[in-house]
Structures are given as structure tokens and as C-alpha cells.
Amino acid sequence: MYLGISGYHIRRVSVVGAGLAAIVFAIGYVTGRSHGTVTTTAQVGLLVVWAAAIGAVLPAGIVVASALRLEIVENQVQQTLFGRWVLARRPLADLVGISLGGRAFPLVLTFRDGSRMRVLGAPLGEVRSFAYHMQAQAPQAQLSA
């Protein structure tokens, strides 16, 4: 089981970003043509670039948020970078605290030696269920919201 943003979430947000870019372009084109401010190919090209940049803001933010992921593997918690490279690994028996609801980090795990593991971004609907699953695996951990 893992917690973090996956490729599925990035694709969903990219579709939303593409839709937003199309709306921005359509409004800009219709408004620009009616006011006479979008008349040349260069101006249309600039409008396409601006619409694409606005549409790319959400997917770019989600990609950054997908950097850190938490996974439970054989009675251990591991933090991975983009789900590929293991950054840290700790036994579930050393888990002493599970903190929910932070702004930047929706889930923070604290271990006996004081070290912490964080998830930068995660679907909000999955954070609580992951925390409850972790507490079932490590009943000594205190859950705080």
C-alpha cells in the first residue's frame, strides 16, 4: 500500500489544465478578435503560448507534489522519490506518531529516533485511510489530527 500522487492523478489534472487552456484561448481569441487586438498570426501564437502556460500551472504543481511517496512494504515504511528511489526506510515497530492535516505535508510520520517521513502531496480522500491502516499495523503510534 502506498500514499502519494500517482501518474493517474497527474493525468487527471493535466486534462483539467488542458481544458482550462482551451477556455482561456477561446475567450482570449473571441474577445481579441471583437476588439481588434488579435489580428496577426504572431498575436494568435502569443495567445496560444499564454493559454498553454496558464493550463500548465496545475499539472506542474502536481508533478512537484508527487515527488515524495510513502509505502508500506513488509512491516517497514519507506519514503521514495517519484515512487522509484528509496530515500529512507524504517520499521513500523519504530513508528511513534502519525500527524494529519498539515498544510504543506498532509501526513507526517515520526519515529522513535526523532526522524520524520513526509508526503508532499496526496489525494485528501486517501490520507486518513492510509493513516488508519498504518495505525492498525503499528498500534503503538499516536494518531493526531
One-letter amino acid for residue 30 of the chain: V
Q: Is the pTM of this model over 0.75?
A: no
Amino acid in position 63: V
Return the exposure string of 79-107: e unless at least 16 CB atoms fall within 10 Å of the residue's CB, then b: bbeeeeeeeeebebebbeebbbeeeebbb
**Beta carbons of 6 and 45 less than 8 angstroms apart:** no
Model confidence over 25-58: pLDDT tens digits?
A: 999 999 999 999 999 999 999 999 999 999 999 8
Which pLDDT belongs to residue 67? Answer: 84
Instruction: Flag residues of the chain having pLDDT under 50.
Output: none
For residue 53, give the nearest of 27, 18, 28 by alpha carbon. 18
